[in-house]
Amino acid sequence: MSPRAACRLERLGFSKVYDFVPGKLAWLAMGWPREGTAAAVSNAGEIARRGTPICALDDRIADVRATVLEAGRDVCIVVSPEGVVQGRLRGRALAETPEATAQQAMELGPTTIRPSERLAPLVERMRRRGVATIVVSDLKGRLVGILYREDAERTLEAARP
Amino acid sequence: MPQGIDIDEIRQILAAGAQLVEVLPREEFEEEHLPGAINIPLKQMTEQVTASLDRARPVIVYCWDYQ
């Protein structure tokens, strides 16, 4: 639709017209601001907890564990030099094999969701699968934060009329 | 020919003063849209309706996704 609209505007005499090809979906998937009635209820990106510890693929588990403990968190996200999510470290992976690298110990390719994800269907899916947390990453695969189901449930409850 | 732009370019062009137009139907626009966007559905994109746009400034149009 936007290519046709861009062409239409040019034919109406507008000299500088851009077509934002990836569209609204991509903008929202980056976790960027939005307006409209849907914005009355937060989406996944807006309630994801920030400040999740991150580490590089070749970081030592013993060092990662110290960072996680110092942050008062229980998870670390493994990222590429460009910040793209590669894996997740939690539980036994952080406690055992201190000399291993993050790449060796991590859960490869954790499930992620986009910041634009709506909370109601998401909570339903998380409940069905018994999932308490989920990684939120943007359109480019970079970490946004960790969404906790309890936060989403609380948000939905508060939004009830 | 209109220039296609991607996610890495749009914010810079907006910061330079471009106008932002969502061309989807009004109901979709009202549900969720980019900040600062106005709504001119493609079906209503006439000379009269677009008269509200500033011809001296660039215009960015967008819809839902690549389609």
Could you tell me the pLDDT band of residue A35, with boundaries at 50, 70 and 90? very high
Find the length of chain B.
67
Contact A136, A77 (CB under 8 A): no
Q: Which residues of B touch A33 (CB under 8 A)?
A: 35
CA pair distance A122, A72, nearest whole angstrom: 26
CB contact under 8 A, A21 and B29: no
- Tokens at residue A36, please? 């409209």
The pTM assigned to this predicted structure is 0.90
How far, in whole angstroms, is CA A84 from its chain's centroid? 11
Q: What is the pLDDT of residue B67?
A: 62
Burial (0-12, 13-18, 19+ Cβ within 10 Å), A40: exposed
pLDDT > 90: what percent of chain A? 96
pLDDT, tens digit (0-9, with 9 covering 90-100), for B10-39: 999 999 999 999 999 999 999 999 999 999
DSSP string, A70-92: HHT-SEEEEE-TT-BEEEEEETH
pLDDT digits (tens, 9 = 90+) for A4-20: 999 999 999 999 999 99
Chain B residue numbers with beta carbons less than 8 Å from the beta carbon of A9 are: 2, 45, 50, 59, 61
Burial of A38 (0-12, 13-18, 19+ CB in 10 A): middle
| Residue A103: band (very low, low, confident or very high) from pLDDT cuts 50, 70, 90 | very high
Give me chain A's average pLDDT, please: 95
Provide, as residue numbers in chain B, all residues whose Cβ is less than 8 Å from the Cβ of A141: none
Out of A1, A19, A36, closest to residue B2 by CB: A19
Position A57 pLDDT exceeds 70: yes
* Cβ contact, residue pair A1, B35, below 8 Å: no
ipTM above 0.90, yes or no: yes
Nearest to B55 among A13, A26, A33 (CB): A13
